[in-house]
Amino acid sequence: MLKVLPWLVIAAVMLVSVLVDTPDGSADPVQEYTYSDFLKMVDAGRIATFDVSPDGTASGDMADGGAYTTRVPVEFAGESVLARLEDAGVEIEAVDNESSVVGALLGWAFTLLPFALIIGFWVYLGRRSGGALGGQLTMGRSKAKVFDTERPTTTFADVAGYDEVKREIMEIADFVRQPERYRRSGASAPRGVLMTGPPGTGKTLLARALAGEVGVPFLSVTGSSFVEMFVGVGAARVRDLFEEARKKAPAIIFLDEIDAIGQRRRGGVFVSNDEREQTLNQLLVEMDGFDPSVGIIVLAATNRPEVLDAALLRPGRFDRQVVIPLPNQEERRAILEVHCRDKHLAQQVDLVQVARGTPGFSGADLANLVNEAAIRAARDEREAITVADLDEAWDRILLGLRGGSNVLLPEERKAVAVHEAGHALVAAHCSAADPVHRVTILPSGQTLGVTRQLPEQERHLYSERYLYDTLAVQLGGRAAELEVFGRGSTGAANDLAMATAIATRMVKEYGLSIELGPVAYPSSGPMFLTDDSMVESRPYADATQRLIDEAVARILGEAQERAVAIVSTHRAQLDALSDRLVIEETIDGRVVYEIAGCDVPSTRPQILAMSQDPDARAVPGADPPSA
């Protein structure tokens, strides 16, 4: 409706102007008389008014209601004519030149008004769109944001951990700021640096910090800003971006999410008007075409390095690839300290324990963890974040919203308690498994219960013994159900899926099976955005797949037999542990080890301690739940 309104206004104005200029057909017509006839009608008393202009044009009203017009010759106009009109009782009025000029101007104004409105309307559209009319002339301009004098406030002090990565990126800035330092040793600056890694590890944050640290112009642009409907626009924007960088050199160009324009070109079919391919070709030319001495370095980031074109990754374009992995335990602690700067923490909160309990968390995940804990504290009208807040935030992020215990039927509560007790008991009797931290039968999200294990230390290598113990723990809940109830249930669905995934990798990738031996069929490429539902190609025959299936089934069968043997041997401990869970709903790891008659792992005695004060509880780990 708003788009049609200007056109309606223009049409209305044009209609009004036409009506003003067009005589009314319903009025009496104006009769034109000669001067002689006019004098006869004056003598006959038929003229009522007489309006005369200096050019001799006269008009007026007749006595019978009509209108007339005539032309008075200048040689006959004079006092005699005026006296004759006065004797006949005619009302005389003279019209000056100024009035006639104003009328003419008004007439011209009404005539030109519609055209002026149309022109003004199109000018308004051109300025408003910025791309439809006048914007088409600037469509090829780059949309890069230039940080020259006004730089982001983010610095490397706001990026915790990743010391090696920051040193690598700062070296890039030194190439630009101090090129003579490297020329003395014969080194040349890299033309491009590609940052890759899982989502949330801080690639864009590192680029923003670099923009705040360096003393050279920093041009930041996203890959999607080059993609347009019109072919050739993206290539034009790439040219304009590098041209602007040359003017400001030395400078750094940052291309965020470069996979939007740098995807692998299709082979076999020649497509001459593909916008993405034209943009990629222009980027390749620009990166390989300018002189490295001008001091321009391209910094790019992506989560999908496996889809980038090979020509883009070769030396001379992106000479360096910096992988930013998930943070380790020490880096997680430093990241947590950064995110807790403006927050109040309770005295019992130990960020070292929080870091130990969050393996696999990215920097964005840790920020979300602290924020969820702060939201919970604000909900309870508290300023300080407690250990209980962090505990609930962990459950909220990984498991989902926690429901009340009354959602389970009594027989379901008993079944869930037996299931979780089986996980905990098998973990306590498997020396290589991760220690039990907490067991609960309170539902969270899609999970009815959780047996949480906390790693003793940051693992980089997994032994065969650790993998077999992990499989036994995963199947401990199903083993407990078979021992107590004599049948299984749907509660072990997630356990079976996780155990099958571990056993499959043991057979296909780790060479830990008798059937295949030391043969590996690993997945290809660093898939940071892995989709398990994707169909993978099989580089082996159907007979090999049959051997893999048999090996996986054997390994899982042996793990279940081992778990059943443990819960059968310690049936009294299983019953005591499940009864305790039904009553208390949540118990900590120390209680599990006391009931199982096992020693608490000596490497972490204080982590398993949970006092009656909820604020003093230890922070949970982040291993995948067992149920």
Is the pLDDT at 307 greater than 90? The verdict is: no
**Which residue would you say has higher pLDDT here, 528 or 182?**
182
Q: What average pLDDT is seen over the chain?
A: 76
Dist. CA 61–CA 68, nearest whole Å: 6
- Do 565 and 431 reside in the same domain of the chain? yes
- Do 160 and 198 reside in the same domain of the chain? yes
- Do 422 and 571 reside in the same domain of the chain? yes
Whether 133 maps to a domain, the answer reads no
Q: Which residue is it, tokens 């300080």?
A: 384
- Do 451 and 600 reside in the same domain of the chain? yes
Confidence of residue 577 (pLDDT cuts 50, 70, 90): very high
Is the pLDDT at 537 greater than 80? The verdict is: no
Residue closest to 189 by CA, chosen among 202, 205, 177, 203: 177
Dist. CA 211–CA 510, nearest whole Å: 43
Whether 30 maps to a domain, the answer reads no
Is the pLDDT at 55 greater than 80? The verdict is: no
Is the pLDDT at 546 greater than 90? The verdict is: yes
- Do 358 and 469 reside in the same domain of the chain? no
CATH number, domain of 388, equals: 1.10.8.60
Catalytically annotated residues: 420
Is the pLDDT at 16 greater than 60? The verdict is: no
Strand partners, 30: 67
Q: Which residues contact 24 (CB under 8 A, 6 or more apart)?
A: none
Phi, psi dihedrals of residue 72, rounded to the nearest 5° = -90, 120
Which pLDDT does position 395 carry in this prediction? 78
Mean pLDDT of 109-131: 67
Dist. CA 485–CA 496, nearest whole Å: 19
Whether 95 maps to a domain, the answer reads no
Whether 114 maps to a domain, the answer reads no
Q: Which residues of 97-130 are buried (b: 16+ CB within 10 A; e: fewer)?
A: eeeeeeeeeeeeebeeebeeeeeeeeeeebeeee
- Do 426 and 556 reside in the same domain of the chain? yes
Which pLDDT does position 141 carry in this prediction? 52
- Do 300 and 368 reside in the same domain of the chain? no
Last residue of a domain, one of 342, 365, 398: 398
Structural domain that includes position 271: 145-323
CATH number, domain of 437, equals: 1.20.58.760
Last residue of a domain, one of 257, 291, 323: 323
**Which residue would you say has higher pLDDT here, 189 or 542?**
542
Mean pLDDT of 137-157: 59
Q: Is the pTM of this model over 0.85?
A: no
Dist. CA 255–CA 317, nearest whole Å: 13
Confidence of residue 156 (pLDDT cuts 50, 70, 90): confident
Whether 76 maps to a domain, the answer reads no
- Do 370 and 442 reside in the same domain of the chain? no
Is the pLDDT at 238 greater than 50? The verdict is: yes
Q: CA-CA distances (angstroms) from residue 583 to 154, 413, 576, 577? A: 51, 10, 11, 10
CATH number, domain of 173, equals: 3.40.50.300
Whether 182 maps to a domain, the answer reads yes
Is the pLDDT at 606 greater than 50? The verdict is: no
Mean pLDDT of 505-531: 79
Strand order through the sheet with 436-440: 450-453, 436-440, 586-588
- Residue 253's Cβ-count burial label (10 Å; 0-12, 13-18, 19+) is buried
The domain total for the chain is 3
Which pLDDT does position 474 carry in this prediction? 94
Is the pLDDT at 162 greater than 70? The verdict is: yes
Q: Which helix (H) or strand (E) holds 506?
A: helix 493-508
Work out the angle at residue 595's Cα, subtended by the Cα atoms of residues 597 and 480, and round it to the nearest 5 degrees: 105
Is the pLDDT at 98 greater than 60? The verdict is: no
Last residue of a domain, one of 398, 413, 428: 398
Whether 87 maps to a domain, the answer reads no
- Do 456 and 570 reside in the same domain of the chain? yes
Dist. CA 256–CA 143, nearest whole Å: 13
Whether 118 maps to a domain, the answer reads no
| Cα diameter, the chain | 144
- Do 156 and 296 reside in the same domain of the chain? yes
- Do 250 and 372 reside in the same domain of the chain? no
Phi, psi dihedrals of residue 67, rounded to the nearest 5° = -125, 150
- Do 521 and 432 reside in the same domain of the chain? yes
DSSP type of residue 62: B
Could you read off the pLDDT of 241-290 as tens digits, one per residue?
Answer: 888 888 887 788 888 888 888 888 776 555 545 667 788 888 888 887 65
